[in-house]
Amino acid sequence: MSFLFRRQHLAFISRCRPFSSVGRADVDYFRTFLPTHAILTTLPNDSGSVAPAELDVYNRDWMGKYTGRATTVVKPRSTEEVSKIVRWCNEYDIAIVPQGGNTGLVGGSIPVNDELILSLANMNKVRSFDPVSGILITDAGCILQELTDYIAPHNHIMPIDLGAKGSCQIGGNVATNAGGLRLLRYGSLHGSVLGLEVVLADGTVLDQLTALRKDNTGYDIKQLFIGAEGTLGIVTGVSILTPAAPQASNNVVLALPHFDNVLPLYRKVKRSLSEILSAFEFIDRTAYDLAVKHGQGRGLSDEDVAGAQCFVLVETSGGRREHDEEKLNDLLAELLDAENPLILSGVLSQNPAQFSSLWALREGVTEAISKEGKAYKYDISIPLDKFKVVVDATREHLAERNLIGEHAVKHVMGYGHVGDGNLHLNICAAEYTQEIQDALEPFVYELVASYRGSISAEHGIGAAKTHALHYSKDEVSIELMRKLKALFDPRGILNPKKILE
């Protein structure tokens, strides 16, 4: 197909629908610079096409909730190849969905129609690491766990850690501004990302891949791409500050008789452990039982957890093992000896295997829920003292509508990052149904808004929450977001219908 014909064809299509579908001419063009294995297409093609089922892993999200209809996935190996693809798509009005590890929980990485999927999986090389400054410069498609393993021999750790670390990519982490388990200690990616390389909507490469800790030369443009979920540009390179690995890490899981004890416990733990406290995670009883049921990590004995309403996982990371262990043991003794103990029992990890096992209990909750049923996920920021109120109110609301039961909503639970004020409210049902969806929304959003909370603390807006953005952002902010989108992506080809409706 000649380019001229392609344009006429496009003019016809664009009258009928907002974007052009990927066609044979597009695939032929991609083949001029991408190897065969870097293009998966179901379109009939001289160079071969794949069965539709081969695209399922790209067209379906981690939860099995969102399904796209992409006919083609491209996997560029370099920034230059990303730029060529994006330039072409911008010219011919083809919408693109950037995709990292596809572990996002709000449908952001899945096409809403038949957009082209641009997978960063083949951009997986570390560009440089400086063991003195701890600055890592890497392709966006590197998997978080692999980066962790890469810098471990240099005694450094990644500033973020999350349950999906074996699959999620650093570019996806940046695009979602992922929080995770280390935010309490190392802060958000807005602080630790030092620079980015981004392919803009017209194919221009924005090179802000600096390794400077300080740079006050005008607007800090890279911040806009952190958490933009691929709607403003495609992140191809990341410069990130990695902290020195702690010399000693310990963790303990504590069983609490009442939720009311969580906040006094948090205060006490912060005071006693001060600089060595690195995580304070909350798991309610339902979430804990599900994690244990589905073999996620090791729990306490049945005797220890009898009567426990909830659990917290405390992690310490410090410079000297004896010092840290002494502090932790003192704290535990104080907690158990008190006249009105805040905890019922606790288990302290004794070796690296137990350390991982206790963490698996908390990190594995998301996976346990997905094994148990279909999850309605609300990732909210609310005042700490409202964690239980929100979970209970949601459960009661569903019960009033007769939606609790083995064939409807099986469990309502809360877990999350207490240190960051972030609760994962999860409703685990037998199936996704409109009735449950309608019962939950806008109920949950209105509840969150009544506490001036955020409807998305760390997972983003994606496709799941575009209609609810106004609960956490005022009209002025949303209007500015629209203007920024129009400025960065005038033709709207980058991840359409995500974040903004």
Ligand X SMILES: Cc1cc2nc3c(=O)[nH]c(=O)nc-3n(C[C@H](O)[C@H](O)[C@H](O)COP(=O)(O)OP(=O)(O)OC[C@H]3O[C@@H](n4cnc5c(N)ncnc54)[C@H](O)[C@@H]3O)c2cc1C
Site residues, ligand X (CB under 6 A): 62, 97-105, 108-109, 120, 140, 162-164, 168-169, 171-173, 175-176, 178-180, 229-230, 234-235, 366-367, 458-459, 462, 495, 498
- Which residues, other chains included, contact 206 with Cβ-Cβ below 8 Å and sequence gap of 6+? 196, 197, 198, 199, 200, 221, 233
Least separation in angstroms between CB 467 and ligand X: 17
If the CB atoms of residues 235 and 240 are measured against ligand X, the closer one turns out to be: 235
Least separation in angstroms between CB 176 and ligand X: 4
Query: Which residue, among 55, 61, 162, has the nearest Cα to 106 in the 3D structure?
Result: 61
Least separation in angstroms between CB 15 and ligand X: 28
Q: Is 453 strand, coil or helix?
A: coil
C-alpha 377/C-alpha 464 separation (Å) is 10
Q: Strand ranges (DSSP E) for 107-259? A: 116-119, 126-130, 135-139, 193-199, 205-208, 234-241, 248-256
Strand partners, 255: 311, 345
If the CB atoms of residues 324 and 363 are measured against ligand X, the closer one turns out to be: 363
Least separation in angstroms between CB 104 and ligand X: 3
If the CB atoms of residues 368 and 439 are measured against ligand X, the closer one turns out to be: 368
Query: Which residue, among 78, 128, 114, has the nearest Cα to 234 in the 3D structure?
Result: 78
Q: Is 251 strand, coil or helix?
A: strand
If the CB atoms of residues 34 and 82 are measured against ligand X, the closer one turns out to be: 82
Whether 425 and 390 have beta carbons less than 8 Å apart is answered as yes
Q: Is the dihedral of CA 13, 17, 20, 21 positive or negative?
A: negative
If the CB atoms of residues 73 and 162 are measured against ligand X, the closer one turns out to be: 162
Least separation in angstroms between CB 241 and ligand X: 18
If the CB atoms of residues 401 and 473 are measured against ligand X, the closer one turns out to be: 473
If the CB atoms of residues 346 and 462 are measured against ligand X, the closer one turns out to be: 462
Whether 297 and 357 have beta carbons less than 8 Å apart is answered as yes
Least separation in angstroms between CB 316 and ligand X: 19
Ranked by CB distance to ligand X, the top (closest) residue is: 172
Strand partners, 214: none
- Helix residue ranges, H only, 364-400: 365-372, 387-400
Sheet containing 205-208, strands listed edge to edge, beginning at the edge strand earlier in sequence: 126-130, 135-139, 234-241, 193-199, 205-208
Least separation in angstroms between CB 98 and ligand X: 4
Least separation in angstroms between CB 122 and ligand X: 12
Q: Is 379 strand, coil or helix?
A: strand
If the CB atoms of residues 224 and 393 are measured against ligand X, the closer one turns out to be: 224
Q: Is 172 strand, coil or helix?
A: helix
- Which residues, other chains included, contact 321 with Cβ-Cβ below 8 Å and sequence gap of 6+? 247, 248
